[in-house]
Amino acid sequence: MTKEPAKARIAVVGAGLMGHGIAQVFALAGHEVTITDTVMQNLNMATSRIAANLRDLGDDENAVSRVRPCGDLADAVRQADYVVEAVLEDLPLKQKLFAEIERHVRPDAILASNTSVIPITSIMQGLNRRERALGTHWWNPPFLVPLVEVIETQWTEPEVVAWTMALHRAAGKKPAHVKKDVPGFIGNRLQHALWREAISLVEHGICDAETVDAVVKASFGRRIAVLGPLENADLVGTDLTLAIHNTVLPAIDSRPGPSPYLQGLVADGRLGFKSGEGFRKWSAEEQAALRAKVMQHLKASRDS
Ligand SMILES: NC(=O)c1ccc[n+]([C@@H]2O[C@H](COP(=O)([O-])OP(=O)(O)OC[C@H]3O[C@@H](n4cnc5c(N)ncnc54)[C@H](O)[C@@H]3O)[C@@H](O)[C@H]2O)c1
């Protein structure tokens, strides 16, 4: 039987953007954390990145002493109660890695993948103990965005889901149980339903990209952090929601694939920040200002 979440030994595989942040959250919650990576430069940077984040956030800087970098995967996972993988988004890589992890862990260890979009079922199907495997989808940055989607597969034992939910709740996260392993889980399905319509409005000349963003930020964006869509539907009434859907749903974009407008941007090399232009043009200063604004907002809303 695994230990109580309060005293778990955590192994994080992959020390990049997400992995070091996930390690930070668990260390701050009092767990002993090992972290491993195949790229030594990334592994070596993990603890200094965590220390810098803790300092910046005003969190207990001693937490970094609970994170032990390991160059060897077997060493990192051998004692773990819980292993979370955050390597590159590549299915064969993740499948091979979990097969290897399974050879080194205790039989009762829980194995989790932080994949963004790959079905957990595909990643875990080849494992011998897939009943102890599941998905945990964190959001960037892991130490500022509260949600962790906990994704159950057809094989996951209920006890494994419950333990993982408790582990994340005790670490100050807001775990959400995803009962079926569907593409995009919950958060990205909702987010990309909105993005599809946002792109469609621009594509069909109803407004420009800047206006789409201005409308969202100045209207339902103002209340969405405290009023979810279904709370909102109840607030206005399901009858009014039905009437609106009767009129609006036939008119909004329901094409199954990506927008041709989006495909055109990518084909033209308009890739967003990385090329200086996407839906809009972005100078280096504008990019830095927007990134800083988002971080400032996330920090300010951290405890709400
Ligand atoms: N970046 C995000 O916003 C975000 C959000 C949620 C989920 N994710 C998912 O988290 C995972 C990691 O993303 P990231 O943004 O941290 O990527 P990243 O490129 O910053 O880090 C990935 C790390 O994995 C390491 N790695 C590669 N192969 C490895 C192996 N065999 N063993 C150990 N380490 C290995 C790399 O060296 C790198 O340090 C991906 O599956 C991604 O889709 C990312």
Instruction: For 273-290, write each residue's pLDDT tens digit.
Output: 999 999 999 999 999 999
Q: From residue 298, how far is each of 33, 68, 141, 143, 149 by CA, in Å?
A: 25, 28, 9, 10, 18
88 lines ligand 1 (CB under 6 A): yes
pLDDT recorded at residue 1: 46
**Residue numbers of the chain with a pLDDT score lower than 50:** 1
Instruction: Give the list of residues 6+ apart from residue 124 with CB closer than 8 angstroms, or none.
Output: 98, 111, 113, 130, 133, 134, 153, 155
State the distance from the centre of ligand 1 to the C-alpha of 292, rounded, in angstroms. 23
How many other C-beta atoms can be found within 10 angstroms of the C-beta atom of residue 13? Answer: 29
How does DSSP assign 134-176, residue by residue? EEEEE-SSTTT--EEEEE--TT--HHHHHHHHHHHHHTT-EEE
- Residue length, the chain? 304
Residues carrying an active site annotation: 116, 137, 149, 188
The Cα–Cα gap between 102 and 107 comes to 8
pLDDT recorded at residue 88: 97
138 lines ligand 1 (CB under 6 A): yes
pLDDT recorded at residue 36: 98
Q: Answer whether 138's CB lies under 8 Å from 115's CB.
A: no
Atom 30 (ligand 1): residue with closest C-alpha? Answer: 38
116 lines ligand 1 (CB under 6 A): yes
What is the reported pTM?
A: 0.95
How many other C-beta atoms can be found within 10 angstroms of the C-beta atom of residue 280? Answer: 12
The Cα–Cα gap between 55 and 276 comes to 31
pLDDT recorded at residue 4: 60
